[in-house]
Chains A and B, each alone.
Chain A
Amino acid sequence: MTEFASGTLTGKNLHLSFGHNHVLRGIDLHVEKGTTASVIGPSGSGKSTLLRVMNRLIEPDQGDILLDGRSVLKDNPDELRQRIGMVFQQFNLFPHKTVVDNVSLALRKLRKLSKEQARSEALEQLDLVGLKHKADSRPANLSGGQQQRVAIARALAMKPEVMFFDEATSALDPELVKGVLALMADLAKGGMTMVVVTHEMGFSRNVSDTVTFMDAGVVVESGPPEQIFTSPRTDRLKGFLSDVL
Chain B
Amino acid sequence: MDLLDQLADTFFNWEEMAKVIPALLMVGLPNTLILAVASGIFGSLLGLALAMMGISRNAGARWVARIYTDIFRGLPAILVILVIGIGLSPIAREITGSRNPYPLGILALTLIAAAYIGEIFRSGIQSVEKGQLEASRALGFSYGSSMRLVVVPQGIRRVLPALVNQFISLLKDSSLVFMLGLAASDREIFRIGNDAMANTGNLSPLVAAGVLYLILTVPLTHFVNFIDNRLRTGKPEKKEPDELAAPIGKGAQA
Contacts and interface: CB of A to CB of B under 8 A. Distances in A.
Contact of A186 (B153, B234, B250): B250
Nearest to A82: B140
Interface string A205-239: 00000000000000000000000000000000000
A81 B137 contact: yes
B131 A95 contact: no
Interface residues of B, number: 31
Interface SS of chain A: helix, strand, loop or mixed? helix
Contacts of B235: 138
A180 interface: yes
A5 interface: no
Interface string A65-101: 0000000000000110110111010101111100000
Given A129-B249, A131-B249, A133-B243, A141 B254 contact: no
Contacts of B248: 130
A85 B137 CA distance: 11
Interface in B135-149: 135-142, 145, 149
Given A81-B137, A82-B140, A158-B140, A109 B145 contact: yes
B154 A182 contact: no
A11 interface: no
B251 A57 contact: no
Interface in B213-253: 234-235, 237, 243, 246-253
A96 B139 contact: no
Contacts of B55: none
A106 interface: yes
B160 to A, nearest CB: 12
B157 A145 contact: no
A92 B137 CA distance: 11
A32 interface: no
B249 A92 contact: no
B132 interface: yes
B246 A133 contact: yes
A46 B244 CA distance: 42
Contacts of A127: 249
B141 A143 contact: no
A55 B132 CA distance: 16
B38 interface: no
A172 B254 CA distance: 10
Interface centre among B154, B235, B246, B253 (most CB of A within 10 A): B253
A92 B134 contact: yes
Contacts of B138: 55, 57, 81, 84-86, 88, 155
Interface of A: 55, 57, 78-79, 81-82, 84-86, 88, 90, 92-96, 105-106, 109-110, 127-133, 137-138, 140-141, 143, 145-146, 149, 151, 154-155, 158, 172, 175-176, 178-180, 182-183, 186
Interface of B: 129, 131-132, 134-142, 145, 149-150, 153-154, 157, 234-235, 237, 243, 246-254
Given A78-B142, A106-B140, A183-B250, 13 more contacts: A57-B134, A82-B140, A86-B138, A88-B131, A88-B135, A128-B249, A128-B250, A130-B252, A132-B249, A133-B247, A141-B234, A149-B251, A178-B254
